[in-house]
Structure 1
Amino acid sequence: MSLLIVSLSVLMDETPDPTEVKAGPLGFAVWMFMILAVVVIGFSLVKQLRKAQAAKDAGVFGDEPVVRDEDTSEKKS
């Protein structure tokens, strides 16, 4: 009985071939949204890292406060 059900399901299978299936505009929109989300998350990460470094330099985390001099980078070049 189960062999009959399996053989009937194989004969009635209407699955399209892989060459007939395409993502279409919805798939493109999903990829663009994912790329945009990664870019936004990356910018947010950089912003948070800069804030954390500024807080560390200010001694918020118990470290010794650091004075950064922008002119030293120009003198080293």
Structure 2
Amino acid sequence: MSRRRADAPAMHPRHERRGEARAPAVVATLAAITLYLALPQQLLVAPRYVLPALEVLLLLPLIASFSTPRSRTGAPCWSRRFRSG
């Protein structure tokens, strides 16, 4: 007995394919910035603003990717041209 796709039960919501979770990466980066800014002057490797500024620059594309449209694979449209395969 063969079942048609229309007759199959609907998938459970947890099985739906969603994109990558980016919020944990944003939270971790913000925590790293905060911890670096809280370090005493003797433990700093560079001037106090250099490393947090670089981390903010890394955060910008990550935050911008929250609003980009996604393809069926969950990848943002702009990243599809950089995929191999």
Does TM-score exceed 0.5, indicating one fold?
Answer: no
Question: Structure 1 or 2: larger helix share?
Answer: 1
**TM-score, normalised via structure 2 length:** 0.33
**TM-score, normalised via structure 1 length:** 0.36
